[in-house]
């Protein structure tokens, strides 16, 4: 097992190197560089520019150097010092900006994931077992509607309902009085009160796909001979379904579970933007709009790295639950 | 947990009591099971299909009763109806399933129990065990066999986990699985076909049921493994004192093991009687038909193949010389060290295929016979060796050395007929397209000429011209195999490789297809390489037989000689394992077991 993990980790390293190059290439694409833009802006505002500081920054980021030298400095700072560079727009280190928003982003991402799976998996299993019944049609119908309604629209509707029915403040993760308050029970309850809207909006759209896949997988598995065997042993329907077909129908989810890791990090950008959530998604959007290259590059790099790590986790999980993968038979 | 269990047991007892049939002698005390006017219907979109249509039969306590019939005769559906585990749209509509576990005990009507209720569940697995045909798909691939067997014990007997494990290991040993402590932790794909079926039998028997229903338990196995499993079942039946209900399509197996026989057709019982009567004084025409189709009896004479016309030593159409085919398989991934294993699927095989003859290639699954066939077709490029093919102009060419492009003209001369008549025809192509494709892609014919040749070929294989526009799903298995043969013959080949071409067919259809092949050989001067695991078929139609074992050609000679006087130990073992289709000859033949260093289970 350890050997397998070690091999997989070794495979990950070249992938990560290539990804980091592509990420840096992308953030280099806009013409000009952020220092010259900043100098221009400061001069336009009539301020003098501290030449020594500019030179120091120029030196630090290797502005004007060839691509490979700049890339080496950028990635060197990240790997050796954990320094993602300075955000041009916010005038703060990129790592600080991300760290500020990380807890809320993760809270939203994890809550959404739990919500999605907690609803979708049982619904999918139920609709497979009760195929061609009203229960099945209802679940499938709701699933399709949830998939078809644009998320931003659902977000707006729910935000309005929250405002009209529960007298909630629209947008954001906190009511105004808690935004700058220190953490406490009150603030946490307030967070939960706001969190449900994005969780339901993002989660519902995700459930539809998972319900369809679970249902299809289950329908395949329910007709397999081993289910008849289990029934012929005298197992009750509930127990045999959960022990045999469900176990096997879950494999596709386990093999893609790791892909949720990057989405935990960036969240749903559009919904977060509509609801003005303080997560990392809108930050990325903002950075891309204002050509804030180190901020955008840092976020893109982290998302890419998380994708690779997520895939690795999925592979390991799948090997842990499915002996056919473990013994190389599937 | 134990409280829940008690409630369940009480519910089960109550349900069974409610289904208990009193009255005046509801069934013969000598029977363990009696079906009375049983009907099982599958409700589909096309309407209701009566899979089991008013079936009445009885199974004597302690007997082996065989249910025989061709595919679709309702024998499996009958077996599954007994404990109500029919596949999805099926339901037991009416009739009674009277079950009497003890000769002086009460009679329970199993058909009156709720299909998912605790009553029938307390009988499944505990009193009536079920063994299925394909142990690979009938066992879960992601649970160990120990887990799956132990589950039955946990369910029906209150045993502690340690005791469960002990019983599982004991029972695995009892069914002849070596190193049971280790094997209990194995997954199905780590076991051979025979071992998997043994595990399945252990699972069905772990609670010592009084009735074991075995649904084609040996059909997916090789003859030698089949013989072992049949011996095992007979031995277990004896030692555990149970009754065996055995479902099969193979009359040879019936003759070997049955006390009573039930012949089924189209969901109905055609004939029911003791085995000797069924085989020697069959009353129903259908039973006679089935018996006549048995290859060993030779009742159907196949047109003698051509050798009479061909001058004595026919020149070889194909000379296979020192052919080798090696596959590289990666073994051991996660826990073990990764190593590349070389498998010699075909190991230095030398064989001549005379023109106009039928050469049979026999052996167990995994012996390399299919690989050899595919090398001949050049679907595989052999690792080493030569394939000298004599063209119509008398020139010899080494097919093994040719490139894909150089092979093209030969692709039309060497053709293949596949085993599975369902999987080998594209369901979205009409018969005309399927048969005409080889000519069309070779650019040999098109338009009305192509259609004309396809229709001619259809008539030739015994189908009608008007069938050309239909899709494969409209045809039965035998008709599909005819389509497959037409597709092989449309390019006017000289050598046809038939890889288990009749194995998937019912006996009566099989006879028709064999007759067709023989007829076509006479008319068109074909040469066949006939690959089969079924020795009786090979004996009947082949001029020469080659026996393969673990990639090596162990014996080769004229068919009569190999079958009458086998020289190699493996051939002898193989022949002795074939069931004799006459109950009166039961036990007259000694079983030979062949063990070589390569054959460890």
State phi, psi for B412 to the nearest 5 degrees. -80, -20
Out of A234, A326, A328, name the one closest to residue B156 (CB): A234
User: Count of residues for chain A?
Assistant: 330
Q: Which of B492, B510, B540 is the last residue of a domain?
A: B492
Residue B414: the pLDDT is: 92
Residue B363 and residue B344 share a domain = yes
The verdict on B409 and B460 lying in the same domain is no
Report whether pLDDT(B505) > 90. Answer: no
- B484 and B384, same structural domain? no
Is residue B341 scored above 90 in pLDDT? no
Same domain, residue pair B316 and B390: yes
B116 contacts A324? CB cut-off 8 A: no
pLDDT class for B588, splitting at 50, 70, 90? confident
pLDDT tens digits for range B429-455:
999 999 999 988 888 888 888 999 999
Q: Which residues of A touch B83 (CB under 8 A)?
A: 232
Residue listed under structure tokens 């028709």? B512
Residue B515 has pLDDT above 50, yes or no: yes
Residue of A nearest to B130 (CA): A232
- Are B324 and B458 part of one and the same domain? no
CB contact under 8 A, B332 and A232: no
How remote is the C-alpha of A42 from its chain's centroid? 36
Give φ, ψ of B429 to 5 degrees: -115, 140
pLDDT at res. B277? 93
Of A1, A225, A326, the CB nearest to B137: A225
Domain count, chain B: 2
Q: How confident is the model at residue B263 (pLDDT cuts 50, 70, 90)?
A: very high
Query: What average pLDDT does the structure give for chain A?
Result: 81
Interface touch A232/B124, C-beta < 8 Å: yes
What are the pLDDT digits (tens) for A279-294?
888 888 888 777 777 8
Interface test with B, best of A228, A234, A315, A327 (most B CBs within 10 A): A234
Alpha helices in B99-249, H assignment, sequence order = 118-123, 135-138, 145-156, 161-174, 180-183, 193-205, 223-240
* B487 and B501 in a common domain: no
Nearest to B147 by CA among B131, B126, B161: B161
Residue B122 CB contacts under 8 Å (≥ 6 apart), including other chains = A234, B9, B12, B16, B156
DSSP string for A126-192 = HHHHTTTSHHHHHHHHHHHHHHHS-HHHHHHHHHHHHHHHH-PPSSSSS-GGGTTSPS-HHHHHHHH
Interchain pair B139, A226: CB under 8 A: yes
Q: Is A228 in contact with B126 (Cβ distance < 8 A)?
A: no
ipTM: 0.76
**Which burial class, exposed, middle or buried, applies to B191 when counting CB atoms under 10 A from its CB (0-12, 13-18, 19+)?**
buried
**Does residue B289 sit within a domain?**
no
Predicted local confidence at residue B339, as pLDDT? 56
Question: Is the confidence at residue B541, as pLDDT, over 90?
Answer: no
Assigned domain for B155 exists: no
Q: Are the Cβ atoms of A322 and B142 closer than 8 angstroms?
A: yes
Taking an 8 Å cut-off on Cβ atoms, the answer to whether A326 and B334 are in contact is yes
| Selected residue with higher pLDDT from B597 and A41 | A41
Same domain, B330 and B393: yes
Residues of B within 8 A of A324 (CB-CB) are 141-142, 187, 189
Phi and psi at A7, nearest 5°, equal -65, -45
B400 vs B504, more confident? B400
Q: Which residues of B sit within 8 Å Cβ distance of A?
A: 80, 83, 85, 87-88, 116, 118, 121-126, 129-130, 132, 134, 137-143, 151-152, 155-156, 187, 189-190, 200, 203, 330-335, 337
Q: Stretch A150-171: mean pLDDT, rounded?
A: 79
When pLDDT is cut at 50, 70 and 90, the band that residue B1 belongs to is low
Q: What is the pLDDT of residue B419?
A: 82
Are residues B400 and B532 located together in one domain of the fold?
yes
Check residues A56 and B239 and name the one with the higher pLDDT: B239
Query: Can you list the domains of chain A with their CATH numbers?
Result: 2-81 (no CATH), 98-326 (1.10.3720.10)
pLDDT confidence of residue B211: 93
Q: Is the pLDDT of residue B301 over 60?
A: no
B36, part of any domain = no
Q: Which of A231, A238, A244, A248 to mutate to test the interface with B (most CBs of B within 10 A)?
A: A231
Q: Nearest Cβ partner of B189 from A4, A244, A324?
A: A324
Name the token pair of B53.
């249509």
Cross-chain CB nearest to A1 (options B122, B189, B335): B335
Q: How many CA atoms lie within 13 A of B481 on its CB side?
A: 23
Angle among Cα B260, B225, B258 to the nearest 5 degrees reads 5
**Could you tell me if B319 and B400 lie in one domain?**
yes
B394 phi and psi angles, rounded to 5 deg: 90, 0
Q: What angle do CA B493, B497, B501 make, to 5 degrees?
A: 120
* pLDDT at residue A32, as a whole number: 65
| Residue to substitute from B142, B209, B336, B338, interface A, most A β-carbons within 10 A | B142
Pick from B88, B139, B156: which is nearest to A229 by CB? Answer: B139
At A63 the pLDDT is: 67
How many C-beta atoms surround the C-beta of residue B469 within 10 A?
Answer: 11
Query: Scanning every residue of chain B, which has its alpha carbon at the shortest distance from the alpha carbon of A251?
Result: B142
Whole-number pLDDT of residue B310: 43
Query: B515 and B401 share a domain?
Result: yes
What are the φ and ψ backbone dihedral angles of B581, each rounded to 5 degrees? -85, 50
> Per residue in A79-96, pLDDT tens?
888 888 878 778 788 888
Q: Residue B137: which of A4, A224, A327 has the nearest Cβ?
A: A224
pLDDT digits (tens, 9 = 90+) for A103-149: 888 888 888 888 888 988 899 999 998 888 898 999 888 888 888 88
Residue whose C-alpha is closest to residue B95's, from B56, B149, B58:
B56
Q: How confident is the model at residue B245 (pLDDT cuts 50, 70, 90)?
A: very high
Same domain, B349 and B464: no
Cα–Cα distance, B333 to A325 (Å, whole number): 9
Do the Cβ atoms of A234 and B142 come within 8 Å?
A: no
User: What is the C-alpha to C-alpha distance for residues A56 and A63, in angstroms, rounded to an integer?
Assistant: 10
Query: Would you state the pLDDT for residue B261?
Result: 94
**Is the Cβ–Cβ distance between B550 and B382 less than 8 Å?**
no
Instruction: Identify which of A222, A236, A326 has the shortest CB distance to residue B121.
Output: A236
pLDDT higher than threshold 50 for residue B333: no
Interatomic CA distance for residues B164 and B176, integer angstroms: 19
| DSSP secondary structure, B533-596, as one string | S-HHHHHHH-SEEEEEETTEEEEEEEHHHHHHS--SHHHHHHHHHSPPS-GGGTT-SPPP----
Q: Domain span at residue B451?
A: 427-492
CA B298 to chain centre: 22
For position A134, what pLDDT does the model report?
92
> In whole numbers, what is the pLDDT of chain B averaged over residues?
85
The arithmetic mean of pLDDT across residues B380-390, rounded, is: 90
Interface test with B, best of A232, A252, A318, A323 (most B CBs within 10 A): A232
**Is residue B477 one of the residues assigned to a domain?**
yes
Domain boundary (B492, B516, B532) is at B492
Residue B458 domain flag: yes
pLDDT for residue A33: 66
Domain-located, residue B209: no
Q: What is the structure's pLDDT at A62? A: 63
Taking 80 as the threshold, does the pLDDT of residue A3 lie above it?
Answer: no
Q: What is the DSSP letter of A35?
A: H
Q: Which residue's structure tokens are 């070589």?
A: B596
Residue B409 pLDDT > 80: yes
Contacts of A327 in chain B (CB under 8 A): 187, 189-190, 333-334
C-beta of residue A312 within 8 angstroms of C-beta of residue A300:
no
Q: What is the pLDDT of residue B601?
A: 38
* A230 vs B contacts (CB less than 8 Å): 140
Enter the pTM of the model. Answer: 0.79
Question: What digits encode the pLDDT tens for the residues A209-229?
Answer: 888 888 988 988 888 889 989
Contacts of A228 in chain B (CB under 8 A): 80, 85, 87, 132, 138
Residue B388's pLDDT is 92
Q: From the DSSP assignment, how many helices (H) and strands (E) are in chain A?
A: 17, 0
What is the structure's pLDDT at A254? Answer: 84
Of the ranges A58-67, B325-334, B426-435, which is most confident?
A: B426-435
Q: Angle at the Cα of A318 (from A206 to A211), degrees rounded to 5? A: 25
**In a shared domain, residues B406 and B322:** yes
What is the distance in angstroms between the Cα of B501 and the nearest Cα belonging to chain A? 26
Q: What is the pLDDT of residue B335?
A: 46
The enclosing domain of B398 has a CATH number of 3.40.50.300
Residue B233 covered by a domain: no
Please tell me which of the candidates A229, A235, A329 has its beta carbon nearest to residue B155: A235
Give mean pLDDT, residues A40-44: 73
DSSP class of B414: E
Q: Please indicate whether, in this complex, the C-beta atoms of A234 and B88 are within 8 angstroms of each other.
A: no
């Amino acid at each position: 097992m350890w050997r397998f993990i070690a091999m997989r980790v070794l495979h990950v390293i070249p992938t990560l190197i290539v990804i980091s190059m592509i990420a840096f290439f992308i953030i280099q694409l806009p013409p000009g560089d952020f220092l010259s833009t900043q100098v221009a802006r400061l001069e336009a505002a009539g301020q003098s520019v501290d030449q020594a500081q500019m030179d120091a920054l120029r030196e630090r980021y290797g502005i004007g150097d060839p691509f490979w030298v700049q890339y080496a400095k950028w990635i060197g700072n990240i790997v050796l010092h954990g320094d993602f560079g300075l955000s041009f727009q916010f005038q703060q280190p990129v790592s600080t900006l991300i760290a500020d928003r990380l807890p809320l982003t993760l809270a939203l991402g994890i809550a959404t994931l739990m919500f999605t799976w907690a609803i979708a998996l049982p619904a999918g299993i139920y609709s497979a077992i009760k195929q061609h019944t009203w229960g099945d049609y209802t679940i499938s119908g709701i699933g399709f509607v949830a998939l078809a309604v644009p998320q931003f629209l659902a977000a707006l509707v729910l935000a309005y309902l929250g405002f009209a029915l529960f007298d909630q403040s629209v947008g954001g993760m906190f009511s105004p009085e808690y935004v700058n308050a220190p953490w406490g029970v009150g603030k946490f309850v307030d967070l939960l009160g706001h969190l449900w809207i994005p969780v339901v909006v993002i989660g519902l759209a995700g459930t539809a796909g998972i319900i369809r896949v679970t249902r299809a997988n289950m329908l395949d598995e329910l007709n397999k001979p081993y289910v008849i065997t289990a029934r012929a042993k005298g197992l009750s329907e509930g127990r045999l379904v959960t022990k045999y077909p469900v176990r096997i129908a879950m494999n596709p989810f386990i093999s893609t579970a790791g892909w949720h890791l990057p989405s935990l990090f960036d969240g749903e950008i559009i919904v977060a933007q509509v609801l003005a959530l303080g997560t990392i998604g809108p930050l990325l959007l903002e950075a891309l709009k204002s050509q804030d290259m180190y901020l955008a590059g840092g976020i893109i790099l982290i998302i890419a790295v998380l994708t690779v790590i997520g895939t690795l986790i999925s592979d390991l999980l799948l090997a842990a639950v499915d002996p056919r993968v473990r013994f190389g038979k599937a | 947990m134990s409280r829940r269990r008690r409630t369940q047991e009480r519910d089960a007892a109550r349900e069974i009591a409610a289904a208990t049939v009193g009255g005046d002698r509801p069934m013969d005390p000598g029977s363990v099971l009696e079906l009375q006017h049983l009907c099982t219907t599958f409700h589909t979109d096309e309407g209701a299909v009566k899979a089991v249509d008013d079936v009445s039969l009885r199974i004597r306590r302690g007997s082996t009763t065989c249910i025989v019939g061709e595919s679709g005769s309702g024998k499996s559906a009958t077996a599954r109806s007994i404990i109500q585990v029919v596949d999805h749209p099926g339901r037991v509509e009416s009739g009674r399933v009277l079950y009497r576990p003890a000769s002086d005990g009460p009679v329970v009507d199993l058909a009156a129990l709720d299909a998912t209720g605790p009553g029938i569940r307390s009988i499944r697995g505990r009193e009536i065990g079920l063994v299925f045909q394909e142990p690979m798909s009938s066992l879960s691939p992601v649970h160990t066999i120990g887990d799956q067997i132990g589950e039955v014990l946990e369910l029906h007997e209150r045993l502690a986990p340690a005791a469960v494990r002990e019983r599982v290991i004991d029972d695995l040993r009892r069914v002849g699985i070596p190193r049971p402590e280790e094997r209990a932790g194995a997954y199905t794909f780590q076991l051979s076909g025979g071992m998997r079926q043994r595990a399945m039998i252990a699972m069905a028997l772990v609670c010592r049921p009084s009735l074991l229903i075995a649904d084609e338990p040996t059909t997916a196995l090789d003859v030698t493994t089949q013989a072992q499993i049949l011996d095992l079942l007979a031995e277990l039946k004896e030692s555990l004192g149970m009754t065996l209900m055995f479902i099969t399509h193979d009359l040879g197996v019936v003759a070997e093991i049955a006390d009573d026989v039930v012949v089924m057709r189209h969901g109905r019982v055609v004939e029911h009687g003791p085995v000797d009567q069924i085989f020697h004084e069959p009353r129903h025409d259908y039973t006679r038909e089935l018996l006549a189709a048995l290859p060993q009896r030779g009742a159907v004479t196949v047109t003698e193949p051509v050798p009479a016309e061909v001058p004595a030593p026919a020149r070889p159409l194909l000379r296979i010389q020192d052919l080798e085919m090696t596959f590289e398989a990666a073994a051991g991934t996660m826990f073990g060290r990764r190593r590349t294993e070389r498998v010699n699927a075909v190991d230095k095989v030398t064989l001549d295929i005379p023109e106009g003859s039928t050469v049979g290639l026999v052996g167990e699954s995994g012996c390399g016979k299919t690989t050899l066939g595919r090398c001949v077709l050049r679907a595989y490029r052999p690792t080493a060796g030569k394939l000298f093919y004599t063209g119509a102009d008398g020139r010899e060419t080494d097919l093994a050395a040719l490139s894909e492009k150089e092979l093209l003209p030969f692709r039309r001369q060497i053709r293949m007929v596949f085993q599975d008549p369902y999987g080998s025809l594209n369901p979205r192509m009409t018969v005309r397209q399927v048969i005409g494709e080889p000519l069309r892609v070779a650019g040999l014919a098109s338009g009305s000429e192509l259609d004309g040749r396809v229709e001619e070929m259809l008539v030739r294989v015994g189908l009608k011209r008007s069938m050309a526009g239909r899709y494969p799903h409209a045809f039965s298995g035998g008709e599909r195999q005819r389509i497959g043969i037409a597709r092989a013959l449309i390019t006017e080949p000289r050598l046809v490789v038939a890889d288990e071409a009749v194995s998937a067919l019912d006996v009566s259809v099989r006879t028709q297809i064999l007759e067709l092949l023989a007829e076509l050989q006479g008319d068109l001067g074909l040469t066949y390489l006939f690959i089969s695991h079924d020795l009786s078929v090979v004996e009947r139609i082949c001029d020469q037989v080659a026996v393969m074992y673990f990639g090596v050609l162990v014996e080769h000679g004229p068919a009569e000689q190999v079958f009458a006087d086998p020289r190699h130990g493996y051939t002898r073992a193989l022949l002795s394992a074939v069931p004799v289709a006459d109950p009166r000859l039961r036990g007259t033949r000694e079983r030979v077991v062949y063990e070589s260093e390569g054959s460890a289970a």
